[in-house]
Chain A
């Protein structure tokens, strides 16, 4: 009986949390589209989310492309399908690994930083201070981050796609003995618009999810340094899980026929 009760309580708490998140998201969206707009903040967040994530995302992409080529080679050699490597690399990177890995890396970097910054502002009453100084904290803090995250993430993923394919190219040509020109030719032939577009749509959604979770957990953090620490952890974990969840459904939307 006790176990059942705690299960029920956990489930209700979960539903309440989902409800709060949805209300927060809708309120954020509503206030994002209404003036005033803080364009300089959008610019700053774009640099923070996009530009400063480039090294992390680039490194992730290049090693992923490299290992993809290597693994495919050793796997496909069993049924002499090594020639499919360019296709495998480009399709896997653009459809899946580019957006997902870039998203996860950005979740770790950006959602954590946002939750910590906004959370600290919350516990030191800076968010209350914003309100008393005629500023809507949603428009000032949340909206620029959501806009920047949603817009800049596709660009970041495009860069990751290119670097990832380049990683596959490097390993294929310099280690596995492929001909560079024919590798590129095969890559271009295999690539379809839909592969890239679906990846970029995912990227935009992931950018929104990551920044939303960072803002949500920061905005609702309570109780000093410990609360901010908890908000940071929750932001990264929930952003990552939601991202993987949405990844499946967007894939289904694009490719399940």
Chain B
């Protein structure tokens, strides 16, 4: 642990702010992630978790502050990678975001074919191996996303995210839309994949059971800032009333969220 802290962080976020119109979603957020960390950011719906993730992916441009991944600004990283054919980041989307027009193996090997120009035959073999590692049989490879169940889509999405063997894995709501058993299985799969890759993982979720299973470290996002950050095992004793209310799912407490449906 001490050795890790001496290395420069894998991801460094400084004073990140992002507003949409008058609504300030992120307000000076700071975060550091070291190689091999598995951080889960928890927070209510609409607390800005997705915005944070999109800023890190370079899909949204922050109003202020900066995000560095291995010392490179995040919004430039994805373009530079594209030019260099490097694969540093993998992303598992909430509903998998598989390409409808491509079959499963083409989906899984998409990043490989685009970044490294791998041949179709080789890509298919790699895709089938990746599918096996997420517990899917080879005959799934020829199916189209529309023919898959929610759990299978998620597995294919995970296979696609790890196909390029990224150093950093971003995961958006791993259990969204899945039954508890399937959600548990996906969580275990994610943990296994992250360990196998030796990747740094950042997950956002509001599912506490899932967050506990995946994370080594947890942080809570509230009103555009991280109000608590620490090892997962200490979250029960956080001493923070907001965190307490959230992890126990109590309707009353300091968080007077959007119960009335007002945004």
Contact = CB atoms under 8 A, between A and B. Distances in A.
A126 B97 contact: yes
A193 to B, nearest CB: 42
A134 B57 contact: no
Contact of A134 (B54, B81, B94, B170): B81
Those 6 A-B pairs whose CB atoms lie nearest each other, nearest first: A125-B97, A133-B111, A129-B97, A134-B115, A132-B91, A134-B82
B47 interface: no
B93 interface: yes
Nearest to A136: B82
A131 B114 contact: no
B89 interface: yes
A124 B145 CA distance: 13
B87 to A, nearest CB: 7
Contacts of B78: 131-132, 134
Interface residues of A, number: 14
A129 B54 contact: no
Given A133-B111, A133-B160, A134-B81, A125 B94 contact: yes
Contacts of A124: 95, 97
Given A125-B95, A128-B57, A134 B100 contact: no
Contacts of B81: 134
B54 A128 contact: yes
Q: A-side binding surface: helix, strand, loop or mixed? A: helix
Interface residues of B, number: 26
Interface string B88-115: 0111011101111000000000110011
A83 interface: no
Contacts of A134: 78, 81-82, 85, 87, 111, 114-115
A135 interface: yes
A199 to B, nearest CB: 34
Contacts, number: 54
A132 B82 contact: no
Contacts of A125: 93-95, 97
Contacts of B99: 121, 126, 129-130
5 contacts: A121-B100, A129-B97, A133-B111, A135-B110, A135-B114
Given A126-B100, A136-B82, 17 more contacts: A125-B93, A125-B95, A128-B59, A128-B91, A128-B97, A129-B93, A129-B97, A129-B98, A132-B90, A133-B111, A133-B114, A134-B81, A134-B82, A134-B87, A134-B111, A134-B114, A134-B115
B97 A131 contact: no
Nearest to B157: A129
A116 to B, nearest CB: 12
A130 B111 CA distance: 8
B36 interface: no
Contacts of B82: 134-136
Interface in B52-75: 54, 57-59
Interface string B27-61: 00000000000000000000000000010011100
Contacts of A121: 99-100
A128 B99 CA distance: 11
A124 B96 CA distance: 9
Contacts of A129: 91, 93, 97-99
B114 A132 contact: no
Contact of B89 (A120, A126, A128, A132): A132
B105 to A, nearest CB: 14
A124 B95 CA distance: 8
Contacts of B114: 133-135
B110 A133 contact: yes
Contacts of B98: 126, 129
Nearest to B57: A132
Q: Which of A124, A126, A130, A134 has the most CB of B within 10 A?
A: A134
A59 B106 CA distance: 38
Nearest to A120: B100
Contacts of A120: 100
Contacts of B111: 132-134
B115 A131 contact: no
A53 to B, nearest CB: 20
A36 to B, nearest CB: 8
Nearest to A124: B97
Nearest to A134: B115
A130 B110 CA distance: 9
Contacts of A131: 57-59, 78
Interface string B155-166: 000001000100
A136 to B, nearest CB: 7
Contacts of B100: 120-121, 126
Q: Which of A124, A129, A130 has the most CB of B within 10 A?
A: A129
Contacts of B85: 134
